[in-house]
Amino acid sequence: MRLGPEFTDFDIETDSEVQIHGVKGGSGPPLLLLHGFPQTHLIWNKSYTVVAIDLRGYGASSKPHGDDKHIAYSKRVMARDCVRVMEYLGHSRFFLCGHDRGARVGHALLTTYPSAAIKAIFLDISPTLKMFDSTDQQLATAYYHWFFLIQPSPFPEDMILASPRLFAEKSLLGLTATSIDLFGPDAFAAYVAGLSDPASVHAMCEDYRAAATVDLDDARADEREGRRIGCPLRVLWGAKGVIEKCFDAVKDWSEVAEEGMVDKGSGAVGSGHYIPEEVPEELLGHVREFLVDG
């Protein structure tokens, strides 16, 4: 990993028998970085960070066993982990940048803890409820893993554990990446290791099972009760990816945010799904311009 000697590892207890692993370094305004599937905080190794964590169920963070309600992996619970980590580190308010699953956790954080985030950037997603409600053949083909991973345990777990490297390659190359080399050998080895560990694979499946159940219930409750994103939000997506082809991301996020909160600088960047690895300097420009210096 190439975060440099100024970055230090930490493990912070956020819940009963749950510890969140991450790295912290740098100076200035606090910025929380959240990764996607099936990755870890190593996604940010081409950028810079203040705090980058492994979401619960991923990397070196705890992997509590799920149940039939999937509450342990609801995005509200995962958002609570994030807030508790930042509070432990002395940051009651912070900037946030989330990719993929991390952005879904970020969405829950903005609606459940509205005073925590100063500004946020979400990378290459539309809201979960919108995406499920809009699923068509094109989306289901590209995002087949959404519907595979939510199948009852232990079917998807057993299938993945039978060939973890193949599943890692399929997952990463299936969303516009053209070569495994994009991720770097250390990061890819870490992702394969995660997909070789039964507890980790079960946790990842639970993340997706929660997305298709309790997270949808929570999103509908937000709609009914008027909970909307109330901080400035910039939405970026890959011009070569599925969000560009299947969704109107600015419109989708505007529907779940207070008026004027979706930043006018939102738009497509010159990449596919893996924005942090494919266009790190372009992303860093957005982070500096919108979050840190804006």
Residue in the block written with tokens 């910039």:
234
> CA-to-CA distance for 82 and 77, rounded, in angstroms?
9
107 is catalytic: no
* Residue showing tokens 């009963």: 16
Tokens matching residue 147? 């519907």
- Find the catalytic residue in 35, 70, 107, 273: 273
Q: How far is the C-alpha of 180 from the C-alpha of 197, rounded, in Å?
A: 20
Number of H helices, E strands in the chain: 14, 8
Q: Which residues contact 253 (CB under 8 A, 6 or more apart)?
A: 122, 126, 127, 229, 233, 235, 262, 266
The C-alpha atoms of residue 52 and residue 42 are separated, in whole angstroms, by: 8
Query: CA 109, CA 186: separation in Å to the nearest integer?
Result: 30
Environment class of 275 (CB within 10 Å of its CB; exposed 0-12, middle 13-18, buried 19+): buried
Could you tell me the end-to-end alpha-carbon distance of the chain, in angstroms, rounded to an integer? 29
Q: How far is CA 50 from the centre of its chain?
A: 17
286: Cβ contacts below 8 Å, ≥ 6 apart: 121, 234, 236, 265, 269
CB within 8 Å of 273: residues ≥ 6 apart: 100, 124, 175, 176, 177, 238, 241, 242
| Residue 35 falls in the annotated catalytic set | no
Catalytic residue, candidates 100, 124, 222, 252: 100
User: Active-site residues: which are they?
Assistant: 100, 273
